[in-house]
Chains A and B, each alone.
Chain A
Amino acid sequence: MELSITKKNQEAGKQNVFPADMVKLIERVNLFLSTKDDASCRSSIAQDRGSLVDAFGFASKGKGKAEIVLSEDTAVELGHPSAGSLSMVLMTNRATNIKDNRITVVGPEVREMDDKTRYPFAQVILLAVNCGTHPDPFKIDNLQFLTNRLPGYMVRSVPGKLWSRISRKGLETGIDLSVIGSAVINAYKHEFENVKAVEVIYVTSSKDDIAELEKVKIEADILSGRHKKLVLGIDGELECTGLDCDTCEEKPVCDSLRDIVIKRRKMN
């Protein structure tokens, strides 16, 4: 799909908005991964729920204990607002595009990090759901943060960003991105209907890598119907429901989209 924006002054609520298949965006994430060499990109297979519960105290949704990890108790800090952060869920009906149960880390793993540095952090979840199902994107989003579910792992989030800390105690018990990814995969598989496959990608390498994925996220927000003013019409065209670009708070998003359109046209 090529992005272009047309003006349509209608109320967003009356538009025919539906969560579109994000298989093209998943392909772009896979393309991003293919540019990384073996030394900076490692994969593992998710642990099962039983071992997560036994070894790390992984709690069911809403059953965990609220926990705050202060900076002096922090072993690893990921996605601090100053460091760069991104979280997104890309959904498709095509399970073949997703390597089920795989967790990939681009950049250093937790044990290779120090407690003085604030690391950039992206959590990208690739989700395959049964054909014909259109889960609520907000419900899908809400599951990804593992709020209060993994002792020693504190998560703070705003839409599209994830800021987390692993406590010194959490690090001692063995929490790393592979464990966190395992918990994410288990959460989706056990607590969401119609999930066929889940893959998780973490990026801790650089702000530039996060920025690269940010372009994918902007398109994902529109396709999922999360965007306030830019919506996907029934004909596949993106439509803007705003009246005045000069006063629109979404103008930076449109500007980014225009840049993306230009770059993609140059690429093709």
Chain B
Amino acid sequence: MSEHAPVKINRSLHWFAVLTALFTFLLLGAGGLVTSHEAGMSVPDWPNSYGYNMFLFPPSLWIGGIFYEHTHRLIASGVGLMTTILAVWLWLKDSRKWMHWVGVAAFLLVVAQGVLGGLRVVLADAQLGIFHAIIGQLFFVLTSAITLFTSRWWLAQDSTLPDRTHLQVVVGMTALRRLVLATTVLILCQLIIGATMRQQHAGLAIPDFPLAYGKILPDTSATAVQRDNEVRMSVITENPITAFQIILQMVHRLVALAIFVLIAACAWRTRRQLGKRDPLAKLALFWLGLILVQILLGAATIWSNKAADVATAHVLGGALSLVTGALGYIIAFRRSAALPEIASATTISGAFGGAPAMAANK
């Protein structure tokens, strides 16, 4: 892409990308409901549903868990179609060559994701469910990034480069973007942990919060785990829990705390370096609010004994947190990478002091 050649704004394409991202978000929610309702294997065949063509499966048979699994498949088909259209549209109408390949990547990813979902059912392999969940999150990042790349705001930034404001904003961006990247990667790790917990199909490994079995650190000895299993009286996920699952949930809690601290640091640093009116500072503040809601949803998942809707909202909160971090990183990367030689020179001369950058935004 040439940073200096203005790219024509295609509103229709952008809004179609927005719609695709929104449907992807909806799809994540539908997938979350499938796992929350333990319905992943309720339609044993794929790509057919109970021997019917997926699109001709009689609604009278959409009962119990079948409803969640089948609607998930239908929404997934819709997202697959939309992604295909989006990829073709980008290839034909976007003048940026790299965007053609972003569209192709989205197409390949959605196909892979669909096949993976099908194989999870056909092979009855719960481990594939973890990959299916994570690739779904990454696909949401990709569709959201396409939305960003086709937006008026992004393209306007293209046409205004380089200007004095931008050059000053570059100051200290390298360190900031690394912080955002580290936080986003940690969120991805947290989503992998969360997906692993959900694919254990064992309900709540620790039934209380903020304590764990009434303690700061739970007892994971064989005797304690046996005792915990004796008193667990779950109707839906009647699997015995293991010490590993208890430790996994503790790790999930600690990583959540680390993510909160890192996002708070991102919010504080962007505000200090770029000023409160800067889009990145606003995004970081939104990110901080989002992670607070997400922590609350995590707690509510436990307090509600893993109610399906609350647990699914927690999954969606995780997806939004990841996307916010990823888009924040893309924006920060773009700023710092735009003029690396100037950024480098300015950084060496003490760019981490926020005053000059803040002044540029006032």
The answer to whether A and B assemble together is no
Q: Which residues of B contact A (CB under 8 A)?
A: none
